[in-house]
Amino acid sequence: MVRLSTPLVLASLSAAVFAAQSCSSSKQCTDEKYPCCSQYGECGTGAYCLGGCDPLASFSLDSCAPMPMCRSKTYNWDNLDNSITQDKYLGNSSSADWTYSGKVKTEDGNLIMTMPAKSVGVLFANNHYIWYGKVSGKIKSSRGKGVVTAFILLSDVKDEIDYEFVGADLTAVQTNYYWQGVLDWRNGGNISVEGEDTYSDWHTYEIDWTPEKVDWIVDGAVQRTLKKADTYNATSKQYQFPQTPSRLQMSLWPAGQPSNAQGTIDWAGGVIDWNSEDIQKYGYDFATVGEKSGDNSYIYTNSKAMESDIEISNKTTVLGSLGATGLDMDLGADKGDSTSTGGSSTGTAFSGIPTGKGGSGVIPGNNGSGHSSDDSSSGSDSGTSTTNPGETSTTGFSQPSPSEGGAAGKNERVLRGSLFGVLVAIVVLVTL
């Protein structure tokens, strides 16, 4: 899956650095002051409690902020007015449809996400949650060994539905699904793509997700179907089927970075070639995404996190400050501006913006062992900067290195090291 996600890393605006408590499905946050388990596996407040906050690993189910519901909407990329950097987002999805970490810009109606040398990756994520429905993207993938493009739906409890493009194989797109992050590589399947290749030709990739099945559709034709009935586990007496509200995420990431687990590098086609044809010709690797389509909030009511444990509520999704949590949404709020999406952290590293851990989810080739807390990122500055008109970036993505001989944890999207690459997203229409 996208270890996009994929997906990706968040900047820290901390005034001081402390060791945050780690968390996982088997280890909940224990301090009510820092109750939210971020998608990177650390406990905190503020952005830790927003998109990606895992209610099963948090102090309590209501520690995470409610999830904004998806609305049908058209998105245009003439500018970044409908997007906000992760360090400024406090949950007001009516003011910001998209949240991103990394360096992005708009150019000629395109959304461009870049990964310069020595950065750890970029994630562009929708702030609204879809609970069954359709999303589609018109995409030209990246190419080259070690480079992966991803287009996925990911829930806060690690349900996931994927399209992933491995740059070493331009004849097919990989599809996969996960239920609550459970590793099962039998869930994957490749779809051959007609035409010259996934890099040179436009193709439309769609996910049609219903309570009974998932269809992966390429260029209007159903290429793969997953039936919920086929996912029943007789031992647990549960359907291991993606069934919880999810966000659309897309990314370009260096799966072939040498510091990654060997299994991940092998899956990605080998170590990244920094002398690839595109880097020599353009100065970067890239993928292009064309048209994409696809009460107030959702909350979890039971730690089983099944479909029946989701409730539609009228609860607000907006935090009062980066110190607020689902347990106290108004903590630190500016009473004169209840709709603020911004704010800055003045607390510890686990009070406000999660430090980047490469994302969450399941990584192909990952053996699921623990990860080191050492920060191997070469850039430690954080914040937001504007380098050119229409160009904005957040810096200071920190990415831990795996312990020697080990692989990253299974709740981590690997975006380590550097990639002089770019994801060009020409997103003219997005309807969710």
Enzyme catalytic residues:
160, 164
- The Cβ of residue 295 has, within 10 Å, a number of other Cβ atoms equal to 9
Question: Tokens 């086929």 correspond to what residue?
Answer: 230
Of 76, 86, 37, residue with least CA distance to 292: 76
Tokens (6 digits) for 240: 């291991």
Q: How many residues in the chain?
A: 432
Distance CA 119, CA 205 (A): 28
Distance CA 47, CA 83 (A): 15
Question: Tokens 């949950």 correspond to what residue?
Answer: 91
Please say whether the beta carbons of 419 and 114 come within 8 A: no
Distance CA 90, CA 87 (A): 8
Contacts of 26 by beta carbon, 8 Å cutoff, 6+ apart:
none
Concatenating the DSSP letter of every residue in 242-304 gives: --S-EEEEEEEE-TT-TTS-HHHHHHTTSS--TT-HHHHHHSSEEEEEEEEE---EEEE-STT
Position 395, amino acid: T
Of 159, 152, 189, 160, residue with least CA distance to 174: 189
Please say whether the beta carbons of 371 and 412 come within 8 A: yes
Please say whether the beta carbons of 403 and 371 come within 8 A: yes
Of 394, 277, 377, residue with least CA distance to 11: 394
Tokens (6 digits) for 374: 């050492």
Concatenating the DSSP letter of every residue in 83-106 gives: EEETTT--S-TTT-SEEEESEEEE
Of 168, 157, 153, 221, residue with least CA distance to 199: 168
Distance CA 365, CA 85 (A): 30
Distance CA 108, CA 77 (A): 9
Of 363, 231, 368, 359, residue with least CA distance to 307: 231
